């Protein structure tokens, strides 16, 4: 048993809609005889929280407690048996699942070619001017007391957004200070507390979070909202969502 992040269900709030059961690629959730969501087996839950975004009543939350380690292989076999081969290929952490799809299993890691629009050769060239105005930018490395955060417009961006959005510097970063993080690959312990301290100490003028459309990226949005709550500061959070094709799906 180790201490890790895992889903927790408030049965009083659950209305039995079942949306979480389909959102969980690992098949960790199902409805019981009372039409309430339950955790099938703890080792099936990866703790990423993709189910949180679809729950209409707020019955689900991620907590940190003692639990058996997430077992991607067991989750894969469970989904393969209950949902079939294609669904099993989407299980998080399966690097070489025997499916007909060449990808790692996690929906956010699915290999897809992005077809760029043909270059007409007309119109002004995109400016290559960097709008980065401070260093460091990785959340692990920044100091909440860094003077450049004072009264700033802060952008908290998932790592991949700058690569997907061609106009990232011009449209998102210009005039803002930057913090980057990856809710999937980073060791995120302490992230909420550090962001809360940045908010608490610096009288931010605005706060924007930029994420990708992949499920695991929503974790960064949740951490930012939690940080605002923990900070005790009244601050609206603008959210920008970028598609893997580089298009802005949701703007502020």
pLDDT tens per residue, range 109-126: 554 544 555 655 555 555
End-to-end CA distance of the chain: 41
Angle, CA of 10, 215 and 188, to the nearest 5°: 80
Taking the domain 2-107, which CATH number applies? 3.30.70.20
Residue 150 tokens, joined:
């004072």
Decide which of 125 and 173 is more confident. 173
pLDDT tens per residue, range 185-204: 888 888 999 999 999 999 99
Residue 67 belongs to what H/E stretch? strand 60-67
Domain ranges in the chain with CATH number 3.40.1360? 147-250
Topology (CATH) of 147-250: Dna Topoisomerase Vi A Subunit; Chain: A, domain 2 (3.40.1360)
Supply the pTM of this predicted model. Answer: 0.63
Angle, CA of 194, 220 and 11, to the nearest 5°: 105
Domain ranges in the chain with CATH number 3.30.70.20? 2-107
User: pLDDT confidence of 36, banded at 50, 70, 90?
Assistant: very high
Residue 215 tokens, joined:
């499920």
Strands 60-67 and 29-31: unpaired
């Amino acid at each position: 048993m180790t201490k890790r992040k895992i889903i927790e269900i408030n049965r009083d709030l659950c209305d039995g809609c079942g949306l979480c059961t389909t959102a969980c690629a690992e098949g960790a959730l199902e409805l019981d005889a009372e039409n309430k969501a339950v955790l099938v087996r703890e080792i099936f839950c990866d703790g990423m929280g993709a189910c949180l975004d679809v729950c209409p009543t707020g019955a689900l939350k991620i907590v940190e407690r003692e639990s058996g380690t997430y077992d991607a292989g067991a989750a894969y076999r469970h989904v393969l048996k209950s949902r079939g081969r294609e669904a099993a290929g989407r299980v998080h952490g399966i690097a070489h699942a025997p499916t007909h799809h060449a990808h790692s299993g996690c929906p956010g890691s699915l290999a897809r070619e992005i077809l760029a629009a043909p270059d007409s050769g007309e119109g002004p060239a995109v400016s290559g001017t960097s709008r980065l105005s401070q260093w460091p930018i990785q959340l692990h490395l920044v100091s909440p007391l860094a003077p450049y955060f004072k009264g700033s417009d802060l952008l908290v961006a998932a790592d991949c957004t700058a690569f997907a959005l061609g106009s990232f510097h011009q449209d998102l970063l210009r005039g803002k200070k930057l913090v980057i993080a990856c809710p999937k690959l980073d060791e995120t312990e302490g992230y909420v507390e550090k962001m809360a301290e940045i908010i608490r100490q610096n009288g931010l003028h605005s706060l924007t979070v930029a994420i990708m459309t992949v499920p695991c990226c929503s974790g960064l949005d949740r951490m930012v909202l939690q940080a605002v709550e923990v900070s005790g500061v009244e601050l609206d959070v603008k959210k920008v969502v970028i598609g893997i094709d580089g298009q802005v799906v949701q703007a502020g």
